[in-house]
Amino acid sequence: AVAELEADNLRQKLEAEHLRTAEAVAVAESEATGLREALEMERNTNATQLSQLQSLTATLREVQEQCTHEVALFQAEHESELRTVTETCEEAKSLREQLLAQESLCGEHARTCEAYKEELIVLRERLRGWLRKDQDQDAASHRLDLEGHLLAEARKA
């Protein structure tokens, strides 16, 4: 009877232990299920984020390509404008040099004209002097002619 009692006690302890183990297994399985579900949700979230990241990466590449293209266009436009401005400046510089050359030439012409004016004044004075001499000579010649005529008349008379 004692042995049966001990066997009953052991059976009860074993059943209690079995129940605790079953409960622990059930809790562990419940936790495992929860962890599996959390892991699946995490995988889904990661997959969604990876997809978004890939989409953003593709968008970023497109934006970079567009920016590169726009920068190239901007540079080309401004290089063209810079080239035009440079050419205009070169033309202006050339025109300025031509203008300076013309001004220099005009200055030389003005000096030459002044020299000619002075020479003309001198020549006019000489001409006036010659005209006076001519007039004096004409008057003297006329006087001589008149005197010669008067002498001839006086001789006749």
Note the pLDDT of residue 145.
85
Q: What DSSP letter does each residue of 121-133 carry, written as one string?
A: HHHHHHHHHHHHH
Alpha-carbon distance of 55 to 24, in angstroms, equals 45
Q: What DSSP string describes 85-116?
A: HHHHHHHHHHHHHHHHHHHHHHHHHHHHHHHH
List, run by run, the mean pLDDT of 10-residue segments along the chain (157 residues): 88 93 94 96 96 97 96 89 90 94 91 92 91 83 84 81
Alpha-carbon span 1 to 78, nearest angstrom: 111
pTM score = 0.40
Distances (CA, A) of 49 to 40, 42, 45, 60: 14, 10, 6, 16
pLDDT of amino acid 137: 84
